[in-house]
Amino acid sequence: MNNAWGAHLNIFLILVVACAIAWAAGGVQAALVVAVVVLAALLLHHLRHIARLARWLRDPDPETVPPGRGLWDGVFGDLYRMLRRQRQSESQLTASLEDFQQAGAAMPDGLVILNASDRIEWCNPMAERHFGLDRARDVGQSITYMVRQPQFLDYLQRQNYSEPLILRQSRGGDYVLSVQLVPYGNRQTLVISRDVTDLERVETMRRDFIANVSHELRTPLTVLCGFLETISDSGVSDGELLRRSLPLMTEQARRMQRLVEDLLTLSRLESSHNPPREEEIDVPELARALYNDALALSAGRHRVLLDVATGDWLLGAEEELRSAFGNLISNAVRYTPERGEVEIAWRRDGAEVRFSVRDSGIGIAAQHIPRLTERFYRVDRSRSRETGGTGLGLAIVKHVLNRHQGRLEITSEPGRGSTFLAVFPRERVMVREAPAALAHSA
């Protein structure tokens, strides 16, 4: 730029000298003619560069900055450098914005940015899912048009955001959301939504669990307390009262003992600090022992079958699997009427092995099957009490199988019986040479 001004200064000095020479040679008119010619040439030079600048400004691009001469060379050079810096700044801002959007898209929580008028400026995919939004369509819309729950509108208007709002949202899916508003910047607001559906479900299960345990313990405790009060009021000399009450009190005490033992078993199975032992389990021998237990429990009231079609063993915790298989067998015996049939089987199915218990009992309606492994869930509560169940057996089975990477499959038809399959993956199978198929019936 300094060189350009120096060149113009030289031109001005040359013009002065030329005018002086012309004045000396031809007088004032000659000097004026020389001055006009030189100034006209300079004017044309500048007009040509101004025209180039005007054309370029219609579509400015640093790569198409027109060439210049003299002073204009410095001007166009400065424009080129300024645009390059601007483009670099834009690229950095664009990259930062893309990083922010990618980070927002990866967030497990929903994010919505609102302007001063509570209109949507941006949202991430999780917020689209939570609130049923479409970023391409709903940007610029008021958040109150999209989230119409009265409690959310009240939360937005009160502007007291110290505590999150629990919102049940059905648009775009059934969610229980924890919604928190955070003001920032120039009267902007960040809406943060978190899916707490599972937490709410766990809290509901916790409340139901406490209520069910209290209910299950209250009945036997009421019986025990009633008999003890009666005995205390009548005196210990009433032998007939003791003879009638002691068996009932013993039965109720054992019921509470079974409940407490099952609760402790569940607690141990759910503990992450208690991984299952890795033992080599002789399942065919275990099946025979459980078959004998089933015969004792049935006491001749049922036809009990045993089918051991494979000699494969399992890798796992024997006591846990004994408990799980025993629960399936005891349920089958308890819920099968007299002269019914219970079959215990150990078979291989491709790469998997299956321990199955089939009965010809009362069966289970289809709507109850998905909930059978919930704690204390009973299809028929009164019948469960008659058979002495705690309501925790299938919950124990589910947790044992989960710890052994297995799964529980249930098929049933009311009036025709049920089949419970404990399926184990290939990783748990210890293949043994298959003996001759073993079958027992009694």
DSSP letter string, 78-129: HHHHHHHHHHHHHHHHHHHHHHHHHHHHH-SSEEEEE-TTSBEEEE-HHHHH
Distance CA 105, CA 87 (A): 26
- 28-58 and 71-106 helices, crossing angle to 10°: 10
Q: What are phi and psi of 311, to 5 degrees?
A: -95, 10
Number of neighbours of residue 76 by Cβ within 10 angstroms: 19
Looking at the chain, which residues constitute the CATH 1.10.287.130 domain(s)? 199-270
Give CA–CA dist 19/34, Å, rounded: 6
Q: Residue 238 has what pLDDT?
A: 60
| pLDDT tens for the chain, residues 1 to 442 | 455 555 566 666 666 776 777 677 766 777 777 677 777 777 787 788 788 778 877 887 777 778 777 677 777 777 778 888 888 887 787 777 777 777 777 788 888 989 988 899 888 888 888 888 888 888 888 888 888 888 888 888 887 888 888 888 765 557 788 888 988 888 888 898 888 888 877 777 777 777 777 767 777 788 778 777 777 776 655 667 677 777 877 877 877 777 787 777 777 777 766 677 788 999 999 999 999 999 999 989 999 999 999 999 999 989 899 999 999 999 899 889 999 999 999 999 888 999 999 999 888 888 888 888 887 777 765 555 555 566 788 888 998 999 899 999 999 988 889 999 999 999 998 887 655 455 666 6
CATH number given to 108-195:
3.30.450.20
CB atoms under 10 Å from CB of 72, counted, come to 19
**Whole-angstrom Cα distance, residue 135 to residue 139?**
6
pTM of the predicted structure, to 2 decimals: 0.54
Q: Where in the chain is the domain with CATH 3.30.565.10?
A: 279-441
Contacts 24+ apart (CB under 8 A), 291-295: 291/344, 291/440, 293/326, 293/329, 294/329, 294/330, 294/332, 294/333, 294/342, 294/344, 295/442
Q: Could you count the other beta carbons within 10 Å of the beta carbon of residue 83? A: 15
Q: Are the C-beta atoms of 214 and 195 separated by less than 8 Å?
A: no
What's the topology of domain 279-441?
Answer: Heat Shock Protein 90 (3.30.565)
* pLDDT confidence of residue 63: 75
Tell how strand 417-424 and strand 429-430 pair up: unpaired
Indicate the pairing of strand 303-308 with strand 313-316: unpaired
What's the topology of domain 199-270?
Helix Hairpins (1.10.287)
Q: How far, in Å, CA of 302 to CA of 344, rounded?
A: 13
